[in-house]
Chains A and B, each alone.
Chain A
Amino acid sequence: MTEAGVRVPALEDAEEAEKEAGRVSKIPVVPQGAPWTAVERVMFERRSIRKFRKTQVPAHVIRRLLEVARFAPSQGNCQPWKLVVVRDAAMIQGMEDFCVGECRKLTESLDYATMRKGSLKYRVARAKTKVFGRLQPNMLHPVPITACTAIAQGRFAVFHHAPTVILVLMDKRAIGVPAIDIGICGTNIVLAAQSLGLGTCWVGFSKFLNESKEWCAKFGAEDPFEIEEAICVGYPVGDTTHLIPRETHETAWFEGGKRELIY
């Protein structure tokens, strides 16, 4: 009993209440080695799709994706997302062109791998990246820089010529770490899409659009909103559902007073 006389209901109370009400739910039994559920299968078979058929996805199917997004968990139920659906090829091409331009600028000033080794430009760029890397280690990670260069050189795309692009805008004022909520919301979309026979690809490079006042105004990505991610949606070229090998990860498991490392 606290001072105010309010008590937080204990777990025992909850189980007791369940019993008293005669509503004790059965604990589901999953036998060892049981086949994967539909949800597990979808998670294993999902790949990022970057080559799409030209066929547009029917509007009602995209509406289904928006619907699962709505029910994503979020910190304090703050739902910090705002979704924007783009289905006009010319508009998607415009977004592509803009982002490619931004990649070119970045590559020209930073990616010393594209410069003549030992030249002044090379040395300046290399020194710059070492400083910026310290300030923005996530952005200057070698993987996105390499991808950015590939985009600048036309060897990689931003929106992968998908028939539908869903932009996921984020309310920067939201609770805690809103980018996590954006990730979860998008995960709902991506997994539901997979279950509907669609292919998707997350596009972090969509953030470049934030550099354009015109695009932002068009999308309603104005303060306190910004474009956090985009998700390309369409029908995949080829059957991409062969199960793949992936890294196992070291996981500490504490039980019975012992610590074990599993993979």
Chain B
Amino acid sequence: MGLLTSKERRHFPDWDDPAQCMFQRVTIDLEKCDGCKLCTLACPANVLEQFGPKGAKKVRVKADHRGCISCNNCHAICENGAIRATQSYDFVGFYRRFGLGEFSKPRVF
């Protein structure tokens, strides 16, 4: 038995298929972003890039992005709270993840 179905256990997801390997997007609030670029430097997956005219640069997720690991290092370094990952990466089949709940900042109990 187990938590995976036998079909899932046999299915190794294609890592070039975004429908099978769901490396989630981050959300960027362009109003708050001042284009400082620090998040692009901190991002381990290299999925962020600067865009826009000189003096009014912003940051966005690259079109051919692959590999955002929802680590929120971008959020940790942003002075403006302009960027954050709000969804976990996940997979179909063998690597399906279990028991993940909502994102939350450290809570006080």
- A and B associate in one complex: yes
Q: A145: nearest residue on chain B (CB-CB)?
A: B15
Contact for A33 among B21, B76, B89, B109, CB less than 8 A: B109
In the complex, whether B50 has a CB less than 8 A from a CB of chain A is no
Interchain nearest-CB distance for A59 vs B (Å): 27
In the complex, whether B19 has a CB less than 8 A from a CB of chain A is no
Which residues from A are CB-within-8-Å of B73?
Answer: 47-48, 50, 240, 244
Q: Which of B1-59 contact A (CB under 8 A)?
A: 12-16, 21, 23, 38, 41-42, 44-46
Given contacts A241-B76, A263-B102, contact A247 B84 (CB under 8 A): no
Which residues from B are CB-within-8-Å of A155?
Answer: 46
In the complex, whether A8 has a CB less than 8 A from a CB of chain B is no
A249 CA / B97 CA spacing, docked (Å): 11
| Cβ contact within 8 Å between B102 and A134 | no
Tally the A-B contacts, defined by beta carbons under 8 Å.
Answer: 121
Q: How many residues of B contact A (CB 8 A)?
A: 45
Q: A133: nearest residue on chain B (CB-CB)?
A: B12
Main SS class of interface, A = loop
Q: How many residues of A contact B (CB 8 A)?
A: 44
Contact for A242 among B41, B46, B78, B104, CB less than 8 A: B78
| Cβ contact within 8 Å between B104 and A245 | yes
Interchain nearest-CB distance for A236 vs B (Å): 9
Give residues in B with beta carbon < 8 Å to A. Answer: 12-16, 21, 23, 38, 41-42, 44-46, 66-67, 69-73, 75-79, 81, 84-86, 88-89, 91, 94-95, 98-106, 108-109
